Amino acid sequence: MKKFFYALLFMALAVSSTAGAFAPQKAMFTSGGVGPIAPISPDSIAGLSLWLDASDSGTVIHSGGSVSQWNDKSGNANNATQGTSGNRPTTNTRTINSLNVIDFDGTNDGMVLPSALYSIPNGQNTIFIVNFSDVTAAGSRQTLTAEPSAFNINFGIQYGPISSPNYLGFGNGQIARTVTRDTNPHIFALRKGATAQLYYDGGTPTSVTSTNSTAINMTLGYSPSYGDYWNGVFAEIIVYNFALSDAQMNGVAKYLENKWGVVWNSI
C-alpha cells in the first residue's frame, strides 16, 4: 500500500514541476487550440488571384535592375507592369532575410495590374503584403490600391495621411488604426467578408462593415489619382477572391513568417 501511495505522490510532483514547461507552447497553437500552426503554400488554397514573389528571380523581368514586369505566380497571368522606364522600381539591390525584394523610390515608381483584377474589390477577398517603409514621416503611402472612380480609393492598404503619420488604413478612410510606423518588415493583411478586417502583423483586427464596388484601375505602390508613392520595398503580395478562414490566414501567414523572418500573431 505504501509503495502505491509513494508512486502516486511521485507522479503528482512530476506533473506539477513540469506544468510550467508546457505553458509557452500555447502560443504555437491555432486560435481553436487544435494543434500547431503549419505553413500553407499560397497556391494550395483555391481562389488565389494574385501572387507576386520578389524572391523568385524567374518572375522579375528587368534590364539592369529596372523592373518592367513582375510576373504573377497564381497561374492567372495577372502580371504587374510598368511601361515607362523612369517609373520602374528596382531589383537585386535590397533584401529581407537574405531574400530579394523590389525597391520603390517614393517619387514616381509604381506598377499597374490588369483589368482581370478589377472585380476583386466588388466582393469577398483576402490580401497579404510583406513590405517595409523607408520613411516614418507624415504622408500617405499606397501599397496595393484600387479606385472605382477618380479620387475615390475604396480598396487597398496605405500608410498616412499627412495629419496622422502613425496610421494604417484600408480604402479611403473606411478603416483606420493607429500603428507604430517604422522601417521594419511587416505583414499587412486584409480580410473582406461581411466585414472588412485590417491586420497589422496579425492579432486583433480593426473592422468595419464591407462595401463593394468594381474598380477602374488597380496599382502597386501608388494611386493614379493622388500619387502617394510607396517609399520602401515589397517582398510578397498574395490576393484571394474570397475571405479566408482563421486557420487558412494563419497558415499562409506562417509561410510568410518562416520565409521572410517577419512576425505574425495568430488570429
61/161 Cα distance (integer angstroms): 32
- Residue 157 has which C-alpha cell? 492598404
- pLDDT at residue 178, as a whole number: 81
- Exposed e or buried b per residue across 71-80, where buried means at least 16 C-beta atoms within 10 angstroms of its C-beta: bbbbebebbb
Beta strands in 97-150 (DSSP E): 99-100, 102-105, 111-112, 125-133, 141-147
Contact between 177 and 198 (Cβ < 8 Å): yes
- The mean per-residue pLDDT over the stretch 237-255 comes to 98
- pLDDT at residue 8, as a whole number: 36
Q: Using pLDDT thresholds of 50, 70 and 90, give the confidence band for residue 23.
A: very low
Residue 227 forms part of a structural domain = yes
Residue 137 forms part of a structural domain = yes
- pLDDT at residue 180, as a whole number: 80
pLDDT in tens, 80-122: 999 999 999 999 999 999 999 999 999 999 999 999 999 999 9
**Longest CA span, the chain:** 88
- The mean per-residue pLDDT over the stretch 5-13 comes to 39
Examine the pLDDT at 6 and tell me if it is beyond 80.
Answer: no
Examine the pLDDT at 215 and tell me if it is beyond 70.
Answer: yes
What's the sign of the alpha-carbon dihedral 132, 136, 137, 138? Answer: positive
- pLDDT at residue 31, as a whole number: 47
- The number of folded domains in the chain is 1
Q: Which is more confident, 160 or 136?
A: 136
pTM of the model: 0.85
Beta-carbon contacts of 139 under 8 Å, excluding residues fewer than 6 positions away, are: 159, 160, 161, 162, 165, 228
Contact between 100 and 78 (Cβ < 8 Å): no
Residue 180's CATH number? 2.60.120.200
User: 50-64, 130-144, 174-188 — which one is most confidently predicted on average?
Assistant: 50-64
Residue 18 forms part of a structural domain = no
Examine the pLDDT at 247 and tell me if it is beyond 70.
Answer: yes
Residue 72 forms part of a structural domain = yes
- The mean per-residue pLDDT over the stretch 34-57 comes to 93
- pLDDT at residue 211, as a whole number: 81
pLDDT above 70: percentage of residues in the chain = 82
> Comparing 22-36, 144-158, 206-220, 247-261, which segment has the lowest mean pLDDT?
22-36
pLDDT above 90: percentage of residues in the chain = 63
Contact between 110 and 240 (Cβ < 8 Å): no
> Comparing 26-30, 32-36, 56-60, 200-204, which segment has the lowest mean pLDDT?
26-30
Residue 23 forms part of a structural domain = no
pLDDT in tens, 143-189: 999 888 887 776 778 887 655 555 677 765 567 778 888 899 999 99
Residue 5 forms part of a structural domain = no
Beta-carbon contacts of 234 under 8 Å, excluding residues fewer than 6 positions away, are: 52, 54, 101, 102, 104, 129, 130, 131, 143, 220, 221
For the beta carbon of residue 206, count every other beta carbon within 10 angstroms.
17
Examine the pLDDT at 230 and tell me if it is beyond 70.
Answer: yes
- pLDDT at residue 156, as a whole number: 75
- Compute the mean pLDDT over every residue in the chain, rounded to the nearest whole number: 85
Q: Domain residues for 181?
A: 32-260
Q: Tell the residue number behind the cell numbers 466582393, with chain if given.
A: 123
